[in-house]
Structure 1
Amino acid sequence: MRLSDFIVQHVDRIVDEWEKFAKSIKPAADSMSRVELRDHAKAILMAAARDMNTAQSKAEQAAKAKGEGPEKTPTLDQAAASHGEMRHTVGFDLVQMTSEFRHLRASVIRLWVESLTSPEMAYFQDMIRFNEAIDEALAESTAAYAEQVARSRDIFLAILGHDLRAPLQAVSMSTEMLVRKVGLDDAALSYIARIKGGTRHMGAMVKDLLEFVRSRLGTSLPIERKPMEMASACHDAIEVACAGQPDCVPNVKISGDTHGEWDRGRIDQLLQNLVGNALQHGASSHEVNLTLTGDEREVTLEVHNYGEPIATDAIGTIFDPLVRSASEELGQPSTSLGLGLFIVKEVVNAHHGSITVTSNIDDGTTFTVVLPKF
């Protein structure tokens, strides 16, 4: 009997073995019902049998072995993906989930071989096709499982970031009340200033974390366009940045019409991250230069600093989340989660703009942002 026919005729027997194995996976299986243990096993097997009965050339088989084609089997992929999501939900770890497919493969081959009276060449082809189908199901199930893990992590981070805001606000308000008390000496005022600075940095990190999680969960940054003056936003960002580093005197050049419709809050995020990044990584003996140019349709913002250039191999990932510079990784102090430039990129994308970066030892580092006015 051909393997595909064997699977169809004995599918319940095979699923019984699947259930028996799944029940041995502790502790997750202890609280699972029979239906949950059997899950999508039958659907996966029936879809695999149908896939085995479809024609496949040698070229297609060779391509499939490399993961390059032919087209996947929709019902097989759907069942496998649903299985991966379900196993994550009930508490299987990734190794336990993948072990089910290993056992399924072994069970089917063992039961089929036991039923054979004499081998035929076509049977070897059946085994190849069956292994291909199981490998495809395993890949889809693993991908779905991993996606659920990532989503669970992001939801946890979102809850963490949200819940951190309340205690930070309490600390900030308490320091404001302390400042208003009469009779504090210089040392006490210095301590309060440090607390205020620390809470401000922590607040910025939590805000960046929430924006990162929002994008990871598939939601682009919401923006509300209103008429604003970009030059004013640039001056405000410079003032805020210099408050933390009073020794730096940035050079600001503004020309042309810089009025347009943007989300002021998001633009402030963009500017504070770019200017803060330039101040953090720029050479202390050189100025940070901010150039803003406007025309009828768009504004172009350039933030430039001298200092250690960005490594060539890091340029391509500099806007990726949780990527930090080599100097930070070597232990230099930082208040960044590695999300600043990622947030900048998200703000630019939300405004349908573009951002590029150039960096070398002679010319320094320049971030160039182009934003349409409407």
Structure 2
Amino acid sequence: MRLADFILRDMEPILTKWEAFAATQLPASAYMGSPELREGAEQMLRAVAADLRTPQTREDQRKKSLGEGTGVIGVTESAARTHGTLRARAGFTVNQVAAEYRALRASVLRLWMDDSAPELTELDDVIRFNEAIDQALAESVTSFNSQIEQNRNLLLGMLGHDMRSPLQAIQVTSSYLAALNAGDDVSKAAGRLIRSGSRMQALLDDLTEFNRTKLGLGINVTPTDVNLADVLADELEELRAIHPERRIDLHVMGDLQGVWDSQRLQQLLGNLVVNAIKYGAQNTPVRVTVTGDATHVRIDVSNNGSAIEPAMLSRIFDPLERGRDSQNQDERAGSLGLGLYIASEIAKAHHGAIETRSDESETTFSVSLPRAES
């Protein structure tokens, strides 16, 4: 008997074995009944049987064995994709999902061989069946991972939203305590609360921005007609107050009038300067040079110190990346490694670009922003 015919004839025994194995995938399966454990399995097996009966080229078969096939013709979302999504929602791990397919593959082939002792001419069905299962597994795992990522992003969004109210209460209370003038001990404690609250606010802002980009929303910008020299000078004044031990120089050349989101560009500059303060040599200044020409404005943030390793340089704008040689370990511990990523996203939102060059003498981050007409 051909394998496709066997699958359709013995569907119920195959599904029984599928369900029995799925029930062992604890703890998630403990809360699932028979319909949930079998969810999508029958449709998937019928699709596999139809696939076995469909003529295919060797190239079609090769792609499916790599999980690169096109699936069943006429099916918008395969049963395997649905299965992966539902397993993710139920709390399965990706290893448990893969184990289900391994068990399905083994049980179907074992039942078929025990039933009909396939002839040599039918053994090609084994290859075709394995290729179809590989394709189903690839689709299921892709859908599983997509669902997990969506769940994570929604969790980050809710976390960021729900943390704002208690954080604001902490900041208001600490400011109130600082204003009481109730002695040095209270003032010092209030100062620590204010600094910690500001650090938490910065982390929360980074988390919110990161979550927006991962949800496909990007960085929101509201451009207005601004003088970038004034905008960036204001940001540097705040940074000098926060880091009085470090010298931060600003050099401005050319016309810096244009249409940009001033707050976002202050955020971009702040992230670059704070990065330079963290990783640059402590006894040298951080240098900010802003140059305007007919079509673009360029912002260069430079610091002296150790060169960035080439491997790190290639992924320096990736999210959650942090350098190994921060000069201030306390500040490094309070960082999510999102500052440069967010700076890059802000530049992109302005249709600009950001790049890095680094050697033993200097590291420079350069931002190029197109000049919009006012």
- Normalized against structure 2, the TM-score is what? 0.90
In structure 2, the partner of 1:281 is 279
How far is 1:9 from its partner?
Answer: 3.2
- The change in CA–CA distance for 1:24 and 1:286 in structure 2 (over 3 A counts) is closer
In 1: Cα distance, 2:216 partner to 2:5 partner: 43
Q: Distance in 2 between matches of 1:317 and 1:49?
A: 45
> What is the RMSD of the two structures over their aligned residues, measured on CA atoms?
2.4
Is 1:230 the counterpart of 2:228? The answer is: yes
The C-alpha deviation readout for 1:112-131, integer Å capped at 9, x for no partner, is: 112215x3223221101101
Match runs of 1:162-241 below 5 Å: 162-185=161-184, 187-241=185-239
Which 10-residue stretch deviates more, 192-201 or 364-373? Answer: 192-201
Secondary structure of the residue aligned to 1:39 is: coil
Aligned to 2:103: 103
Structure 2 counterpart of 1:230, one-letter code: L
Counterpart residue number, 2:18: 18
2:305 maps to 1:307: yes
Mind listing any 5+ residue stretches in structure 2 that lack a counterpart?
Answer: none
1:283 Cα deviation from its structure 2 partner: 1.0
For 1:147, the aligned partner's letter is S
Aligned: 1:322 with 2:320: yes
Q: Unaligned regions of 5+ residues in structure 1, if any?
A: none
SS in 2 for 1:352: coil
Q: SS where residue 351 of structure 2 aligns?
A: coil
Does the CA-based 8 Å contact 2:64-2:135 persist in structure 1? no
Match of 2:270 among 251, 269, 272: 272
Q: Report the AA paired with residue 37 of structure 1.
A: L
What secondary structure does 1:317 align onto?
coil
Q: For 2:145 and 2:205, how far apart are their aligned partners in 1?
A: 26
Letter in 1 for 2:139: E
Amino acid in the other structure paired with 1:271: L
Out of 99-108 and 150-159, give the one that drifted further.
150-159
Give the distance between the partners of 1:79 and 1:58, measured in 2 at CA: 24
Distance apart, 1:149 and its partner CA: 2.2
Pairwise CA distance, 1:311? 0.8
Note the alpha carbon deviations across 1:272-300, whole angstroms, 9 max, x for none: 10111111211122221111111233211
- Pair 1:51-2:51 in alignment: yes
Q: Which residue of 2 aligns with 1:351?
A: 350
Give identity over the alignment, percent: 38
Across the two proteins, how many residue pairs are aligned to each other? 370
Moved more, 68-77 or 195-204: 68-77
Q: Report the Cα distance in structure 1 between the residues aligned to 2:187 and 2:165, rounded to whole angstroms.
A: 24
1:68–1:101 distance in 2 versus 1, CA, 3 Å = closer
Q: Does 1:160 align with 2:159?
A: yes
Q: 1:297 to 1:203 in 2, by over 3 A?
A: same
4+ long deviations beyond 6 Å: none
Q: Is the 8 A contact 1:52 1:126 kept in 2?
A: yes
Question: What is the CA-CA distance between 1:70 and the residue it aligns to?
Answer: 5.5
TM superposition shift of 1:42 = 1.7
Q: Give, in whole Å, the separation in 2 of the partners of 1:327 and 1:166.
A: 35
